[in-house]
Amino acid sequence: MATPEDATLLRLFVGEKDRFEHRPLYEAIILRAREHGLAGATVLRGLLGFGASSMLHTAKILRLSDDLPIVIEIIDTERQIESFLPVLEEMMPSGLVTIEKVRVLHYGDLAKS
C-alpha cells in the first residue's frame, strides 16, 4: 500500500472445517490474497461463536468443537479489495463477508524502526 491513510478492511467469517481444494479455506484465502498482491491479511481463531445455523461453536473443554469460528481480515485499498471479491466468490460457498472503511495509522515493519 503506497499511502497508508484511507483503506478498506475485508472481514470474512468462516468455519475451521471449511475447505477449498483439499486445504483449509482460511489458508487458501490467505494464499490467494498474497498472490493477488494485497497489502496484508490475518487469520484469527474464535473461542466461541455461532452463525446462520445458530449452532454454538466453542473451545470450552467440556464442549470441544472441531469447527471453531475463523475470522480473516484483509486490508488494502478499496480498488484492490473490490478486485479480490470475485476470487472469494469462487472460493466461499457460504460464510459472511463484510467490508468497512478504515484509517491506517501505521503500515510497515515495526522491527525496522
So what's the pLDDT on residue 79?
95
Give the pLDDT score at 55: 67
pLDDT above 90 (res 99) = yes
Domain ranges of the chain: 6-99
Integer angstrom CA distances of residue 9 from 16, 71, 112: 21, 12, 25
Is 103's pLDDT higher than 80? yes
Question: What is the DSSP code (8-state) at residue 110?
Answer: G
Compute the mean pLDDT over every residue in the chain, rounded to the nearest whole number: 85
CATH architecture of 6-99: 2-Layer Sandwich (3.30)
Instruction: Please tell me the pTM assigned to this model.
Output: 0.82
Report the pLDDT value the prediction gives residue 106, as an integer from 0 to 100. 77
Average pLDDT over residues 26-54: 89
